[in-house]
Amino acid sequence: MHENPGISGTAAVRPAPRVRKRLLPTLGDARNSIRDALRDAGLAPGGDQPPLILVACSGGPDSLALAEAASFFSRRGDYRVGAVVVDHGLQEGSAAVAERTRQKLEAMGLAPVLVRQVTVPTSGMGPEAAARTVRYAALDAAVEELHADAVLLGHTLDDQAEQVLLGLMRGSGTRSLAGMPAVRGKYLRPFLGLRREATLEICEHAGLDPWHDPSNRDSAYARSRVRTEVLPFLEEKLGPGIAEALFRSSRILSADADYLDEKAARTFEKLRLDPPAGSGAEGAELLLPEAPLRDLPAALRQRVLALAALALGGAQPSYERLAAVESLLRRTGSAGPVQLVGKVSVYRQPRGKAVHHGGSSYGNLVFRKKSST
């Protein structure tokens, strides 16, 4: 009797089955959030040349977790996934942080990974706004250079809750209280429904060592005070769930703001009048008829007035400035002008008087921007 060479004794020796690592539930949620955001943006996976997605990564837990979740789609071949690391140069050792972040991203399989150094201006605006402005300029340049289809940002539900509270502190309107949009052009925020704790858990699970920005705990910044003092205080005094409630409010207000903004844009284009021939020698002008403006609901009227200022190159007027413009419609006081940011003035043309070098415009509000020359 011949012994089977593949059998030792009476039983075959088989290799032990490979143990698959259990998928972390929060990582699965993160991947699903990215997939849904890309699908909603109309970016279909696969193809001969899959869409190029860039992750904006600071090296912090939120953006590192975002990169880790996005790398899954790169490995599957659904999308090409790269990253951009922006070094603001605001802290000692920032270049080393950016380099370590680049190495981590490349180890995930992301390509290309760009590191961009920027200079944050120290005058003209607050430090947070200045850093945000140059950061987005660097990201915009990377999108153009690489012909990227989308940029993923790592803002979480907690960031959104902080944004809503900051809007409340400023006394802002619906659009500001709606918080950060989930989509703005090519910028997508797939993690707005995820808590910050989830990103920390993903980083720990993946063996990543995120950088923790010390400015996030610097009480000199309003956002840091909201994060470290205000929200924890509200949770302590009012009970858990404050961040989630603020996030839900932002979703509701975002839908309301989208509807009102769209309706206001159509109304503005319908009401907008060109100035009489020969007017505007010293700048640009446009007219809005007073009677239809008075008939509008306040929410629409204020938006239409703001759109008129923006159409001339001005800035978004404050609530107080819009209230001053509305007082012209009541025709009980001064005929103006009301000065708005961006060298835009608004006035009510008295009966029989003409717009600058033009015909009578009685019954209209005149918006005028002075020429810079």
**Residue 60 labelled as part of a binding site:** yes
- Fill in the DSSP letter of residue 105: H
Tell me the helices (H) and strands (E) count for the chain, helix number first.
13, 10
Residues 6+ positions from 232 with CB-CB distance below 8 Å: none
**Residue 59 labelled as part of a binding site:** yes
Distance CA 231, CA 222 (A): 12
Residues 6+ positions from 331 with CB-CB distance below 8 Å: 290, 348
Distance CA 176, CA 189 (A): 17
Beta strands, E only, 28-75: 52-56
**Residue 279 labelled as part of a binding site:** no
Write out the H or E segment, with its range, that includes residue 107.
helix 94-107
Q: Are 194 and 33 in contact (CB under 8 A)?
A: yes
**Residue 61 labelled as part of a binding site:** yes
* Coil, helix or strand at residue 367: strand
Polymer length in residues for the chain? 373
**Residue 40 labelled as part of a binding site:** no
Distance CA 318, CA 303 (A): 11
CA angle 257-285-279, nearest 5°? Answer: 160
Distance CA 309, CA 315 (A): 7
* Coil, helix or strand at residue 83: strand
**Residue 58 labelled as part of a binding site:** yes
Torsion sign, CA atoms 347, 352, 358, 364: positive
* Binding-site residues for ATP: 58-63
Binding-site annotation, residues = 58-63
